[in-house]
Amino acid sequence: MYPSVSVIIRGYNRERYIGQAIESVLAQTYTDFDLLVWDDGSTDKTAQIAIEYAKKDKRVRVAACNHRGAVKSLKAAVADTFGAYLCWVDSDDLLSLTALEETVAVLEKNPSVGVVYTDYQLIDTVGRVKGHGRRCRIPYSKDRLLLDFMTFHFRLIRRSVFEQAGGINEEFRCAEDYDLCMRLSEVTEIRHIQKPLYYYRVHPESISQRMRIEQIHCSRDAIAGALERRGLDDRFQIDLQIRGRFTLKRKNAHG
């Protein structure tokens, strides 16, 4: 009998944060889950840290693989899980204690709902809460999702709906979750829990910081695909605007 929820943590050189991410999952009030930690060829101690947790808790499995990149590793990790419900936690982020309990309850009570997502709070490198994420203020709608990725960041998904939508598209190097959410919105009802049940860490090494421009272009491709699927590409075109912002930092004194 498989656990009802499969949780994935994918990581690459995240020894600083991976332990905290794992502990936030293991501390869940809802306990019928398994946790797959997918190490994407880390060169630091990420895999070793995960293996130590697996030795202590039978719900934890570790897959230490060659480096594939975030999207391909996520797709491979999903294929190695079996729960009826599916979610993933970034290796530098944290789950609130009741995240699984509250999201599972929505799917259990509402068969027509295929995805439930939650609000989130921003945290810094040492875990201090910096406030609600701005996307929390955006009301959900299938149409507005074309412009605003409000189904960010924690989502619990019915596996059957995930598969119906086509799963992860590995042609995207990033913004694959945005592309997925738009495809999910086209095949199922999505519900929003207006409560912060996820902690999203902001730091210089995050993908959103390192690959910001590429994320914007991949998001444009995701929107273009959605317009075509929805039969709207003959009425709308995408006007992409990238606004740069510059800051000055004082150099370190030498000598």
What is the Cα 161 distance to its own chain's centre?
17
Domain assignment present for residue 172? The answer is: yes
Residue found under tokens 């995960």: 50
Q: What is the average pLDDT across 130-158?
A: 94
Integer Cα distance of 253 and 71 in angstroms: 40
- Average confidence (pLDDT) over 161-179: 95
Give the mean model confidence (pLDDT) for residues 184-204. Answer: 95
Q: Per-residue pLDDT for 244 more than 60?
A: no
156 Cβ contact list (under 8 Å, min separation 6)? 5, 85, 86, 87, 100, 103, 104, 106, 107, 115, 116, 117
Residue 222's pLDDT is what?
93
Please give the residue range of the domain that contains residue 142: 5-229
What's the confidence (pLDDT) of residue 10? 94
Reported pTM: 0.90
Whether 240 is in a domain gets the answer no
Mean pLDDT of 118-144: 94
Average pLDDT in the chain: 92
What CATH number does the domain containing 50 carry? 3.90.550.10
The pLDDT assigned to 237 comes to 86
* Residue 212: per-residue pLDDT: 76
> How far from 153 is each of 63, 89, 94, 136, 244, CA to CA, in Å?
23, 9, 11, 10, 24
Domain contains 117: yes
Instruction: Supply the pLDDT for residue 210.
Output: 58
* 57 lies in some domain: yes
Taking only the tens place, the pLDDT of each residue in 7-62 is 999 999 999 999 999 999 999 999 999 999 999 999 999 999 999 999 999 999 99
d(CA 1, CA 3): 7
Mean pLDDT of all residues in 107-124? 97
Confidence label for 72 from pLDDT (cuts 50, 70 and 90): very high
Domain assignment present for 247:
no
Region 125-154 average pLDDT: 94
- Of the listed ranges 3-17, 183-197, 236-250, the one predicted with least confidence: 236-250
Instruction: Give the total number of structural domains in the chain.
Output: 1
Residue 154 within a domain = yes
- 252 in any annotated domain: no
pLDDT of residue 179: 97
Contacting residues for 63 by C-beta, under 8 A, at least 6 apart: 36, 37, 38, 39, 77, 80
pLDDT of residue 3: 84
In a domain, 221, yes or no: yes
β-pairing, 5-11 vs 33-40, is parallel
Question: What does the pLDDT read at residue 242?
Answer: 63
Query: Does the pLDDT value for residue 83 go beyond 60?
Result: yes
